[in-house]
Amino acid sequence: MYVQVDNLLASSKTFKDIFDIGKTHNNHKYIFIYENNNKTKKIAYSDYYELCYKYAFQLKQLLKDIDKNDYVALKMKNSYLWCVIYWAILMSGHNVLIINPLSSEADTKRLIQEGNAKAIISDKNSQYDIYSINSNEIKISDEKYISNEYGNKVAFSTSGTTGDSRIFVFSDKNIVAQIASARKIPDTSLTGMFKKDKGDLRLMAVVPFSHIYGFVAVFLWYTFFGMTIIFPNSLSSFDIQNCAKKYKVTHIFGVPLLWDSLAKSIKNTIKLKSEKMQKTINKFIDYNNGIITSGEAGFASTKLFKNIFQKKVFGNKICFLVSGGSSISKETLSIINGIGYPLNNGYGMTEVGVTSVETIDDVKQRLKGSIGFPLTDVIYKIKDNELCIKSPQIHSYRLINGIEQDSLLDEEGFFHTGDIGFMDETEHTWIKGKIKDVVIGSNGENLYPDEIASYFVNLPFINKYTVVGLPINNDEIVSLIISLEKEINDEEKEKLIKEISIINNSFPTSMKIKKVYIYQNDLPVNTSMKILKYQIVDEYLKNPQLFKQLSIIENVGFEQFDQQEVTSITNKVRKIVSSILCVEEDKLGNNQNIITDLGGDSFTFMTLLSTLEEEFDISIPTEMFSKLNTINDFVLFVLKNRH
């Protein structure tokens, strides 16, 4: 690892240098493992590099009418082919604009225009106003293109639909600095993030490569340093856990949503155990968290009990877990570390890359929730309670209407994150909140409340309204808060709910509001007539009775179907939902939202989708995800597929 970084820092610091130096050191290990048609597929590093050259040859032909250094958009889900095509685009002499594969068609078109991309490579047959290539239809031969002039920029986008540009450009020099920033991690964590014996290190790719976190911490670091990346079949909890056990995964990097979901599942599992076993498991958790001694824990402190328990989760090969993308709750840290898995907190953002991760091999330090020390060549400074960062890895430009603008740094070269930070005397750092008006969901996505709110401007009967992130169950729930201009009757309320539902259903999943409240008082404003959102959040925490929730779920009708068939399918769906959410069937409402009303999350939702597909032998397309919110929604989808 050290030799590779030294060679990289001594090079011209181009993307070609990154590729070639990685290739020189990583010829004999498997780089990717995945499943295809229930068969395990393995790709060696040597084969991977050859594939990059072969795809580069094809892209050189396909993109021959695109000028050198123009942007080519890449919109694909995680796979070995994403990695190959990323390099092939650069090898063909073009820059890469990375787009989230779950972005709506409208959002994708906006990003293409904003980034001035001249072509797009996607794993779906979508139509755009620029040259489009389906990655699955690229035919390769033995012809290879070994280029001496790579593209020199890669651009990332954050969520959002309007306002200032949120496309950030990293030069090849920035990316080299990002790789080099990890070079001292082994000094503080010899058995953790980067093991000395690299041959048995296997990292599961859960975070999308389109996210700066997944791109840096999974794809960039672990391919350059010669590790193995495992791709699960899906992001359902079943597939993630099965993949971890089957392929002896040692590392998983995820967003808090993954860890919160796992912690919730463990808590629900414990509740179903006998009182005696519950006490033993609680001792097991306390022992691993350093709260009680082995003598006090008894059998719960043994390796046997640990192996038995972990066998039902990710297996017993895990040696390092990381949470990043947004804040994580102390309860989740306690539960995951308590079952013997070292879950560490990290920090980064689209504008700066990955800048720190807790690596101290001490559970008591992990449980504090620190984001660790800044990485090599990264400087943290707290100014007016705000975390500011200085580093050569920070983005070089912003793309605004296709034109590069300078990055937003202060006179000392620091980037102001908008996060409230605290640093102790050891230089460990904590994030305490946000200064910016941004909601960061537990899946790591940035949501901009004012943008979402702008769509609700013409709602009837409304005096004032706003969209805020309300702290509910250790997460920020995007909520629409309204005050009424007058008392409304049932008919008017129904009209209001319908209009809110129509607008909300038009959003991609990431933008949807999760809850709607009528605030009993008038919404507070400042002298500029801007709504004081922080006061609303404080009021919600102090006086929740002043917030009356509206259900924005519309009833689903089954009049055109056989009622016996409807009942049969409904019972099956309810049983599946009950099992996955650990909620008794008689407490499930057919029109309750799986996530906001029944306590589900994105990972349990993916598990639900996977189970329903198998149960009813159907395929649920990605574009339907945002429309399936309730048991009745799923029942209707199954019925329509049958008839």
The β-bridge relationship of strands 343-349 and 167-171 is unpaired
**pLDDT exceeds 90 at position 232:** yes
pTM: 0.81
Q: Under 8 Å CB-to-CB from 407, ≥6 apart: which residues?
A: 168, 351, 394, 395, 396, 397, 398, 415
pLDDT digits (tens, 9 = 90+) for 505-527: 787 766 788 889 999 998 887 65
Q: For the sheet containing 397-400, what is the strand order?
A: 131-134, 117-122, 71-75, 95-98, 153-157, 167-171, 397-400, 403-406
Give residue for tokens 């994580």.
328
168-204 as b/e, with b when 16 or more CB fall inside 10 Å? Answer: bbbbbebbbbbbbbbbbbbeebeebbbbeeeeebbbb
pLDDT attached to residue 453: 83
Q: Across the chain, what does the average pLDDT equal?
A: 89
pLDDT in tens, 411-440: 999 999 988 889 998 889 998 777 766 776
Spatial neighbors of 14 by CB under 8 A, at least 6 apart, are 150, 152, 172, 176
What single string gives the DSSP state of each residue in 562-623? -HHHHHHHHHHHHHHHHHHHT--GGG--TTS-TTTTT---HHHHHHHHHHHHHHHT----GG
Burial bucket for residue 486 (CB in 10 Å: 0-12, 13-18, 19+) = exposed
pLDDT digits (tens, 9 = 90+) for 481-501: 999 988 999 999 989 998 998
Q: What tokens does 468 get? A: 């805020």
pLDDT at 276 over 50: yes
45 pLDDT tier (thresholds 50, 70, 90): very high
Three-state SS at 321: strand
Percent of the chain with pLDDT over 70: 93
Six-digit token pair at 142?
């033995």
- Size of the chain, expressed as the number of residues it contains: 643
* pLDDT surpassing 50 at residue 269: yes
Give mean pLDDT, residues 377-385: 94
Report how far apart, in Å, the C-alpha atoms of 62 and of each of 72, 138, 282 are.
12, 9, 59
Question: What number is the average pLDDT over the span 132-140?
Answer: 95
Phi, psi (degrees; rounded to nearest 5) at 73: -75, 145
Cβ-Cβ contacts under 8 Å for 299 (sequence gap 6 or more): 280, 305
pLDDT band for position 441 (50/70/90)?
low
Read off the pLDDT band of 151 (50, 70, 90): very high
pLDDT (average), residues 194-220: 85
pLDDT of residue 186: 82
Mean pLDDT of 25-42: 88
Check residue 585 and give its pLDDT: 87
> 511 versus 66: which is more confidently predicted?
66
Check residue 221 and give its pLDDT: 95
For residues 34-39, average pLDDT: 91
C-alpha span between 96 and 155 (Å, rounded): 6
CA-to-CA distance for 173 and 395, rounded, in angstroms? 10
Average pLDDT over residues 33-59: 95
Position 163 scores a pLDDT of 41
| pLDDT for 279 beyond 90 | yes
Q: What is the pLDDT of residue 94?
A: 98
pLDDT higher for 23 or 192? Answer: 23
Residue written as token pair 């017993």: 316
For 131, the 3-state DSSP assignment is: strand
Tell me the residue type at 25.
H
- Say which range, 77-91, 483-497, 624-638, has the weakest mean pLDDT: 624-638
**CB–CB of 344/358 below 8 Å?**
yes
Tens digits of per-residue pLDDT, 218-231?
A: 999 999 998 999 99
**Beta carbons of 509 and 625 less than 8 angstroms apart:** yes
Return d(Cα 253, Cα 632) in angstroms, integer. Answer: 34
Decide if pLDDT at 472 tops 90: no
User: Taking residues 91-106, what's their average pLDDT?
Assistant: 91
Q: pLDDT-based confidence at 199, cuts 50/70/90?
A: low
Rounded to an integer, the average pLDDT of 141-150 is 94
Q: Does residue 41 register a pLDDT over 60?
A: yes
Q: Which residue has the tokens 């400042």?
A: 526
Distance CA 564, CA 571 (A): 11
Better-scored residue on pLDDT, 396 or 451: 396
Whole-angstrom distance, CA of residue 464 vs CA of residue 482: 6
pLDDT band per the 50, 70, 90 thresholds, residue 455: confident
Mean pLDDT of 461-484: 86
- The answer to whether 94 touches 71, Cβ cutoff 8 Å, is yes
CA 621 to chain centre: 20
Could you read off the pLDDT of 284-334 as tens digits, one per residue? 999 999 999 999 999 999 999 999 999 999 999 999 999 987 778 888 899
pLDDT confidence of residue 26: 75
Residue 311 Cα distances to 22, 314, 317, angstroms: 35, 6, 10
Residue whose entry in the numeric block shows the structure tokens 């705000």: 386
pLDDT classification of 443: cutoffs 50, 70, 90 = low
Q: Tell me: pLDDT of 198 over 50.
A: no
d(CA 53, CA 140): 10
